[in-house]
Amino acid sequence: MKVLMFGWEFPPHITGGLGTACYGMTKGLAKNGVEVLFVVPKAFGDEDQSSVRLLNASDVTVNLDNETDRRYWDRVHYMEVGSNIIPYVGPEEYASMVTDYRATDHFKSSVFAPRYEFSGKYGANLMEEVARYALIGSSLATKYDFDIIHAHDWLTYSAGIAAKETTGKPLVVHMHATEFDRSGENINTDVYAIERRGMEMADLVITVSNLTRNIVIEKYGINPDKVITVHNAVEPNSKSLSEYDKSGLNAKIVTFLGRITYQKGPEYFVEAAYKIIQQTSDVHFVMAGTGDLLKKMIRRVSQLKIGSRFHFTGFLKGQDVDRMFAMTDVFVMPSISEPFGIVPLEAMRLNVPVVISKQSGVSEVLKHALKVDFWDINGLADCIYGLCNYKAISELFKKEGKDEVDTLRWEAASKKIIEVYNLALSK
Amino acid sequence: MNKSICLCFQVHQPYRLRTYRFFDIGKRHFYYDEYNNRTVIQRVSERCYLPMNELVMDMIARYGDKVKFAFSFSGSVVEQLDLYAPSTLDSFKNILKSGNVELLAETYGHSLASLANKDAFKKEVLAHKRLMRDVFGMTPKTFHNTELIYSNDIGADVADMGFDLIFTEGAKHVLGWRSPNYMYFNAKNPKLKVLLRNDRLSDDIALNFTSSPITAQDYALKIKAFPETEEIVNIFVNYETFGECYAAETGIFDFMRYLPQAVFDNTDCNFIMPHQAVKLMQPMGVFDAPIPLSCCDEERDLSPWIGNSMQDDAFNTLYDCYNMVKRIKNEEIIRDWHALQDAGVFRNMCTKFDDNTPYDTYINFMNILTDFKLRLESEIHSMKAKKIVAQ
The reply to whether B370 touches chain A by the CB within 8 Å rule is: yes
Cβ contacts of residue A225 below 8 Å, gap of 6+?
none
Asked if A128 and A148 sit in the same domain, the reply is yes
CB contact under 8 A, B316 and A305: yes
- State how far the Cα of A409 lies from the Cα of A345, in Å rounded to an integer: 11
Pairing of strands B183-186, B101-103: unpaired
The whole-angstrom distance between A295's CA and the closest CA on chain B is 7
Asked if A248 and A218 sit in the same domain, the reply is no
The per-residue pLDDT for range A230-262, each reduced to its tens digit, is 999 987 776 777 788 888 888 999 999 998 988
Main-chain phi, psi angles of B9, to 5 degrees: -120, 130
- State how far the Cα of B300 lies from the Cα of B297, in Å rounded to an integer: 6
pLDDT of residue A112: 35
Query: For residues B2 and A408, which has the higher predicted lDDT (pLDDT)?
Result: A408
Q: Which of B228, B46, B72, B48 is nearest to B165 (CA)?
A: B72
Count of the separate structural domains present in chain A? 2
Main-chain phi, psi angles of B366, to 5 degrees: -65, -35
The reply to whether A103 touches chain B by the CB within 8 Å rule is: no
The per-residue pLDDT for range A375-386, each reduced to its tens digit, is 999 999 999 998
The reply to whether A286 touches chain B by the CB within 8 Å rule is: yes
Q: Is B303 helix (H, G, I), strand (E, B) or coil?
A: coil
pLDDT of residue B1: 61
CB contact under 8 A, A247 and B26: yes
Select from B310, B312, B317 the Cβ nearest to the Cβ of A298.
B310
Do B306 and B312 contact (CB within 8 A), yes or no? yes
The whole-angstrom distance between B19's CA and the closest CA on chain A is 9
On the question of pLDDT at B72 being above 50, the answer is yes
The partner residues of A283 in beta bridges, in order of sequence, read A252
The reply to whether A309 touches chain B by the CB within 8 Å rule is: yes
Mean pLDDT, residues A60-80 = 48
- State how far the Cα of A276 lies from the Cα of A405, in Å rounded to an integer: 28
Asked if A144 and A260 sit in the same domain, the reply is no
Q: A244: burial class by Cβ within 10 Å (0-12, 13-18, 19+)? A: middle
Asked if A174 and A284 sit in the same domain, the reply is no
Residue type, A346: E
- State how far the Cα of A253 lies from the Cα of B186, in Å rounded to an integer: 50
Asked if A311 and A227 sit in the same domain, the reply is no
The reply to whether A308 touches chain B by the CB within 8 Å rule is: yes
The least confident of A50-54, A191-195, B260-264 is A50-54
On the question of pLDDT at A281 being above 70, the answer is yes
pLDDT of residue A82: 53
CA dihedral angle for residue A343, residue A347, residue A353, residue A357, rounded to 10 degrees = 0
Mean pLDDT, residues B203-210 = 93
Mean pLDDT, residues A12-21 = 68
The reply to whether A298 touches chain B by the CB within 8 Å rule is: yes
Do A146 and A4 contact (CB within 8 A), yes or no? yes
The reply to whether A303 touches chain B by the CB within 8 Å rule is: yes
The whole-angstrom distance between A283's CA and the closest CA on chain B is 13
Q: What is the DSSP string of A292-340?
A: TTHHHHHHHHHHTT-TTTEEEEE---THHHHHHHHH-SEEEE--SSBS-
CB contact under 8 A, A248 and B316: no
The reply to whether A299 touches chain B by the CB within 8 Å rule is: yes
Mean pLDDT, chain B, whole residue set: 94
On the question of pLDDT at A120 being above 50, the answer is no
CB contact under 8 A, B366 and A250: no
pLDDT tier, B298 (very low <50, low <70, confident <90, very high otherwise): confident
pLDDT tier, A41 (very low <50, low <70, confident <90, very high otherwise): confident
Asked if A264 and A403 sit in the same domain, the reply is yes
CB contact under 8 A, B25 and A323: no
The whole-angstrom distance between A325's CA and the closest CA on chain B is 12
- State how far the Cα of A48 lies from the Cα of A44, in Å rounded to an integer: 9
| Kind plus residue range of the DSSP H or E element containing A371 | strand A370-372
CA B322, distance to chain mean position in Å, is 22
CB contact under 8 A, B317 and A307: yes
CA angle A343, A346, A349 (to 5 degrees): 150
Residue B170: half-sphere exposure toward Cβ, Cα within 13 Å: 22
Question: For residue A302, what is the domain's CATH number?
Answer: 3.40.50.2000
The reply to whether B366 touches chain A by the CB within 8 Å rule is: yes
Cβ contacts of residue B111 below 8 Å, gap of 6+?
B124, B146, B338, B341, B342, B343
pLDDT of residue A236: 77
- State how far the Cα of A136 lies from the Cα of A128, in Å rounded to an integer: 12
Give Rg (Cα) of chain A.
21
Residue B160: half-sphere exposure toward Cβ, Cα within 13 Å: 13
Residues of B designated as active site: 147
pLDDT of residue A24: 85
Asked if A127 and A246 sit in the same domain, the reply is no
CB contact under 8 A, A298 and B359: yes
CA B38, distance to chain mean position in Å, is 20
Please report residues of B whose CB lies closer than 8 A to that of A289. Answer: none
Asked if A327 and A414 sit in the same domain, the reply is no
Under DSSP, the state recorded for A125 is -
**Domain spanning B4-287, CATH architecture:** Alpha-Beta Barrel (3.20)
The per-residue pLDDT for range A346-361, each reduced to its tens digit, is 899 999 999 999 999 9
Asked if A161 and A40 sit in the same domain, the reply is yes
**B residues 168-197 lying closer than 8 A (beta carbon) to A:** none
Most B-contacting residue of A274, A296, A302 (CB-CB within 10 A), to test interface: A302
First vs last Cα of chain A: how many Å apart? Answer: 16
Helix locations, A168-203, DSSP H: 179-183, 189-201
The per-residue pLDDT for range A302-331, each reduced to its tens digit, is 999 999 999 999 988 778 888 999 999 999
On the question of pLDDT at A300 being above 80, the answer is yes
Q: A166: burial class by Cβ within 10 Å (0-12, 13-18, 19+)? A: middle
Asked if A109 and A209 sit in the same domain, the reply is yes
Q: What percentage of chain A has pLDDT greater than the value 90?
A: 44
Please report residues of A whose CB lies closer than 8 A to that of B19. Answer: 111
Asked if A217 and A302 sit in the same domain, the reply is no
Pairing of strands A370-372, A52-56: unpaired
pLDDT of residue A209: 95
CA A26, distance to chain mean position in Å, is 15
ipTM at complex level: 0.77
Peptide bond preceding A12: is omega within 30 degrees of 0, i.e. cis?
Answer: yes
The per-residue pLDDT for range B345-374, each reduced to its tens digit, is 999 999 888 777 899 899 999 999 999 999
The reply to whether A104 touches chain B by the CB within 8 Å rule is: no
CB contact under 8 A, B363 and A312: yes
Name the closest residue on chain B to residue A313, using Cα atoms: B22
Under DSSP, the state recorded for A247 is P
On the question of pLDDT at A11 being above 80, the answer is no
On the question of pLDDT at A91 being above 70, the answer is no
On the question of pLDDT at A108 being above 50, the answer is no
The per-residue pLDDT for range B123-173, each reduced to its tens digit, is 999 999 999 999 999 999 999 999 999 999 999 999 999 999 999 999 999
The per-residue pLDDT for range A48-63, each reduced to its tens digit, is 222 223 332 222 233 3
Domain encompassing residue A419: 2-233+410-426
Please report residues of A whose CB lies closer than 8 A to that of B308. Answer: 302
What beta strand segments (E) does A49-125 contain? Answer: 52-56, 76-82
The whole-angstrom distance between A129's CA and the closest CA on chain B is 32
The reply to whether A108 touches chain B by the CB within 8 Å rule is: yes
- State how far the Cα of B350 lies from the Cα of B309, in Å rounded to an integer: 10
**Cα–Cα distances in angstroms (integers) from residue B315 to residues A62, A68, B318, B326, B372, in the given order:** 44, 55, 5, 17, 14
Asked if A205 and A261 sit in the same domain, the reply is no
**Cα–Cα distances in angstroms (integers) from residue B317 to residues A75, A272, B16, B365, in the given order:** 56, 21, 19, 10
The whole-angstrom distance between B260's CA and the closest CA on chain A is 44
Cβ contacts of residue A27 below 8 Å, gap of 6+?
A69, A72, A73, A76, A235, A410
pLDDT of residue A38: 83
Q: Which of B75, B135, B49, B138 is nearest to B339 (CA)?
A: B75
Query: For residues B317 and A68, which has the higher predicted lDDT (pLDDT)?
Result: B317
Most A-contacting residue of B17, B20, B22 (CB-CB within 10 A), to test interface: B22
Name the closest residue on chain A to residue B316, using Cα atoms: A305
Do A305 and B316 contact (CB within 8 A), yes or no? yes
Mean pLDDT, residues B283-292 = 95
Please report residues of A whose CB lies closer than 8 A to that of B26. Answer: 247-250
